[in-house]
């Protein structure tokens, strides 16, 4: 079996992964694995922007307070303040990569505002901020001689020292990977593995996430024994474009930040009866309110109204969104924009510190797959890319000067064993199980939950996980099988976490426990010990 050696193995090619690789490149050999093209990640789809306090009338304390309020006071105060205060360094890193953020005519930053924010503090590059950032970062990493890029490469499992019979403390020493193009299975051996794989939005039937968001890093870490935190908090973006041909297209939160109002099909505003902040309330409140209105009225969707801004303004400020809506016959300047909530962001994940440290030696986690304590029970708009930037920098600052080392002898990684596995002959089974998980999660573990729905989901997920495990060992691994396996782990972790939280807080709303408890508590699930 081929073995690729590296000082740092980064799994994921979004902002968290590429920024980690860039910062680590001066310290040693970095290998970056992406299971598709480098640009196939959530970062590339981010529209709104990146939080960073830059206005004299704003402050880090205000940003931190907005973050804690949005997170229903479950966020960790020290973490929130640390990440908010390091944001300017992250913005500077992007500027050095070549990202050109929007400026006003006088040369000052054109900061925008989004739901839950008390001030304008969102850096943006029009309404394709993520795409601009991803493109600039890809160009930068390709210039680094010490960074090797593995596209179309999916990680099968992390290699843990005890599981392959090595003595000493249990630690991660790399991973088995599958080359999707050739079908070859080989190992990447590294004393430092950094998971930056994003979230698990595809666990739900309706999501604005790309197909790659199958929770791979979270599942990999859990199977390796890492602690998983707060998986019950799945953020549903309130405003996904509702149209039969509009697959996973978001109407950015910035549209509401610039004055759009949520209305019903008759044009009547409804958010004020749910929250005094109206259409600028945090995402969890807005998504729940839209869901409530749809159930109350029986309508398939609600609408955004930004017609008063005029065509010229909309084409200039939101050129991508305006063009996309026009493709579906919706003119933002004169039509209401049909929207529905959709699964968007994983607020929990692998328990990690701001500098990436997890409960497993040799394994770090950065970005959406990590739970640092920034988001709490609900993510404040545009805090995600900020967290990725800051934590990638802090993780590299820890691992670069003081990395994990193997010592004199490289650990031997056994060749991948296929046993009695045969080529799969019934792909329909994988497709059916994939569809069943996503429908089950949408129906029973969605925006509003109950004990009965969760119990039903738990029973079915236990059976599905057993069926998937049997299928996994019976047939040769394929990318679809690996993603299904990971998706099922994440689904079960979400259900288990939701069942442990006997209150309604942030994104977790249950009819059986409608009130918020006085003492906020993190939900922690121990990693797999088998």
Residue keyed to tokens 């994939």: 434
Neighbours of 296 (CB within 10 A): 10
Contact between 411 and 173 (Cβ < 8 Å)? yes
CA 489 to chain centre: 16
C-alpha torsion 427→432→433→438, nearest 10 = 130
The answer to whether residue 283 is catalytic is: yes
- CA-nearest of 36, 12, 10 to 21 is 10
User: DSSP character for 247?
Assistant: T
DSSP E strand boundaries for 257-368: 261-263, 302-305, 337-346, 349-351, 363-365
Token reading at 387: 């967290």
Residue 121 CB contacts under 8 Å (≥ 6 apart), including other chains: 51, 52, 53, 54, 55, 58, 63, 111, 113
Distance separating alpha carbons of residues 102 and 415, to the nearest angstrom: 51
Query: Annotated catalytic residue: which of 189, 223, 256, 283?
Result: 283
- For 218-235, b/e burial (b = at least 16 CB within 10 A) is bbbbbbbbbbbbbbbbbb
* Beta-bridge partner residues of 512: none
**Catalytic site residues?**
283
């Amino acid at each position: 079996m081929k073995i690729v050696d590296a000082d740092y193995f980064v799994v994921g090619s979004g902002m968290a992964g590429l920024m980690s690789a860039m910062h680590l490149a001066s310290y040693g050999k970095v290998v970056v694995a992406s299971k598709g093209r480098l640009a196939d990640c959530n970062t590339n789809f981010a529209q709104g922007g990146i939080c960073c306090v830059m206005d004299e009338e704003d402050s880090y304390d205000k940003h931190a307070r907005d973050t804690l309020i949005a997170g229903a006071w479950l966020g960790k105060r020290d973490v929130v303040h640390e990440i908010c205060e390091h944001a300017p360094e992250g913005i500077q890193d992007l500027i050095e990569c070549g990202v050109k953020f929007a400026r006003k005519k006088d040369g000052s930053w054109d900061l925008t505002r989004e739901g839950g924010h008390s001030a304008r503090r969102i850096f943006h590059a029009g309404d394709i901020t993520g795409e601009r950032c991803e493109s600039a970062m890809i160009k930068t990493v390709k210039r680094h001689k010490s960074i090797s890029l593995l596209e179309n490469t999916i990680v099968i499992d992390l290699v843990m020292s005890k599981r392959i019979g090595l003595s000493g403390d249990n630690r991660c020493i790399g991973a088995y990977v599958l080359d999707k193009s050739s079908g070859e299975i080989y190992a990447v051996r590294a004393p430092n593995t950094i998971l930056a794989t994003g979230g698990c939005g595809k666990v739900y039937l309706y999501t604005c996430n790309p197909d790659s968001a199958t929770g791979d890093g979270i599942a990999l870490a859990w199977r390796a024994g890492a602690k998983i935190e707060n998986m019950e908090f799945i953020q549903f973006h309130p405003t996904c474009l509702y149209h039969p041909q509009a697959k996973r297209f978001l109407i950015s939160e910035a549209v509401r930040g610039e004055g759009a109002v949520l209305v019903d099909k008759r044009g009547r505003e409804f958010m004020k009866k749910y929250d005094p902040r109206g259409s600028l309330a945090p995402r969890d409140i807005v998504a729940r309110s839209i869901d409530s209105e749809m159930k109350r009225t029986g309508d398939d969707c609600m609408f955004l109204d930004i017609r008063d801004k005029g065509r010229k303004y909309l084409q200039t400020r939101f050129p991508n969104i305006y063009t996309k809506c026009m493709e579906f016959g919706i003119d933002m300047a004169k039509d209401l924009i049909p929207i529905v909530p959709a699964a968007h962001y994983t607020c929990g994940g692998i328990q990690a510190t701001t500098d990436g440290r997890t409960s497993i030696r040799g394994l770090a986690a950065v970005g959406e797959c990590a739970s640092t304590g920034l988001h709490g029970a609900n993510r404040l708009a545009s805090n995600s890319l900020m967290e990725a930037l800051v934590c990638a920098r802090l993780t590299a600052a820890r691992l670069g000067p003081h990395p994990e080392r193997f010592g004199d002898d490289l650990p031997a990684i056994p060749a991948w064993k296929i046993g009695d596995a045969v080529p799969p002959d019934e792909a329909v089974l994988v497709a059916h199980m994939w569809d069943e998980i996503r429908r089950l999660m949408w129906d029973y573990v969605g925006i509003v939950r109950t004990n009965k729905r969760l119990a039903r989901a738990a029973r079915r997920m236990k059976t599905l996980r057993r069926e998937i495990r049997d299928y996994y060992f019976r047939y040769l691994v394929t990318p679809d099988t690996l993603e299904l396996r990971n998706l099922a782990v994440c689904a079960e972790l979400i259900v288990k976490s939701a069942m442990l939280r006997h209150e309604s807080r942030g994104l977790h709303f249950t009819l059986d426990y409608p009130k918020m408890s006085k003492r906020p508590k993190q939900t922690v699930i121990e990693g797999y010990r088998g």
